[in-house]
Amino acid sequence: MIPELSNPSVCMRDPQRVQEILQSMQKAGSNTLQVISDFDMTLTRFAYNGKRCPTCHNILDNSKLISNDCKEQLKELLNTYYPIEIDSTRSVEEKLPLMVEWWTKAHELLVQEKIKKDMLEVAVRESEAMLREGYQLFFNHLYEHSIPLLIFSAGIGDILEEVIRQAGVFHSNVKVFSNYMDFDETGLLKAFKGELIHIYNKREGALLNTGHFQELRTRPNVLLMGDSLGDLNMADGVQDMENILKIGYLNDKVEERKQSYLDSYDIVLVEDETLEVPNAVLLYLTGNK
């Protein structure tokens, strides 16, 4: 049906079920479709030429906007908390307060750095951030077919938007739910706005924005894309859902995590740096194949 589903990077627990969901969604038509996606390591590359690519937070951490002292402290936080985030022996309940602690401390450090709003553009331009191969088709095709793309991110919204703006694909159908910086009238970072969105409460993030989901009531078919098990809750705010197809990027620690991804996502993409499969799915769902 979709030749790309035979790509070597593709793993599916139940290919038959995937076919059924795809057929049902195609039949309903693209005007019933919405795409809900994570950003870092889902729409952006995990690595390029063997080197890790930066997340929204990394772009800032690695930039000239931040003192070496702050960089050291952020690195210490990463070394402390990242192993907890990916520890498959700990429950989400156990990780949750520790993740909140991590992001809160990181944001407090950033606020002390007197970051100027107009410097973010430079930080992104000088960074090695890269959207996945095939991103032009992905963003442009959704825009041309008026399909809403909701991006949920535990990263930094201002930087995320700058990445897609500089790539020339920040179209009007894109909505971003993330952590936004709050600048004072002179353009200095003074705080982060609103509730912290982190890897495990994207669900609440989803529910807080149910007003936004209201206008999507006529779009009960969801293509969900993520790279962590926490991303699976991003569609929880969608009411009267009919079909959901979940595509998961398994970027690293493949052997130990593969089974849990296969149990949770319909299509698992193993060490795949492209949007080839999501694009093929979109083309099929919009009747281009």
Question: Residue 205 pLDDT more than 80?
Answer: no
The active-site residue, picked from 14, 38, 236, 240, is 38
- CATH architecture label of 3-46+130-286: 3-Layer(aba) Sandwich (3.40)
Question: Residue 9 pLDDT more than 90?
Answer: yes
Residue 18 confidence (pLDDT): 98
The active-site residue, picked from 14, 40, 118, 240, is 40
Question: What is the sign, positive or negative, of the torsion defined by CA atoms of 212, 214, 217, 223?
Answer: positive
* Mean residue pLDDT across the chain: 91
pLDDT per residue as tens digits for the range 223-242:
999 999 889 988 887 878 89
Domain 51-126 has CATH 2.60.40.420: no
Which parts of 86-156 fold into alpha helices (H)?
A: 92-111, 120-125, 135-144
CA distances from 287 to 2, 29, 88 (A): 12, 8, 40
pLDDT per residue as tens digits for the range 74-96:
999 999 998 898 787 888 889 88
pLDDT per residue as tens digits for the range 158-184:
999 999 999 999 999 999 999 999 999
Listed by start position, the domains of the chain span 3-46+130-286, 51-126
The pair phi, psi for residue 179, each rounded to 5°, is: -90, 115
Whether 182 is catalytic: no
Residue 68, amino acid: N
Whether 38 is catalytic: yes
